[in-house]
Structure 1
């Protein structure tokens, strides 16, 4: 088994920058990953595979949370009127 050494600070910074650029691209294009393929490839090449998985899950979670924050308050208003 190939042991993966921990990324250096430079590698971590490069990974995070690639992730941020990719996520900003997704935000601009309503999550159309096809428009962000080059940035996705950079993200995958600069970040350890486990990190890519983690960040993908994190993005999904953050989007879900944001959706709850924007749409989740409606039922409470209705409940308050009873």
Structure 2
């Protein structure tokens, strides 16, 4: 597989951005954004799709930790 050229990379990133915006606007309901998901997968190499999906999950987790903080799970001794 050859590396995407600049036009292909831009098309991929634009498709990713449209999908992420749709997911944010629809509370992560993938059914509402199915067409954009298909476009994203068609525009980007499979490895990029996998990376961007993991990246979005990480960014959401990071934002949650920054706003809500970390709450450790109760251990067996603490459970009551």
> What's the TM-score, normalizing by structure 1?
0.84
Give the Cα–Cα distance (whole angstroms) in 1 for the partners of residues 70 and 52 of structure 2. 27
Shift of 1:41: 0.2
Give the Cα–Cα distance (whole angstroms) in 2 for the partners of residues 23 and 9 of structure 1. 21
> What's the TM-score, normalizing by structure 2?
0.86
In structure 2, runs of 5+ residues without a counterpart are 72-80
If each structure's helix is expressed as a fraction of its own residues, which one has the higher value? 1
RMSD: 1.2
Aligned length: 71
Q: Which runs of 4+ in 1 moved over 3 A?
A: none
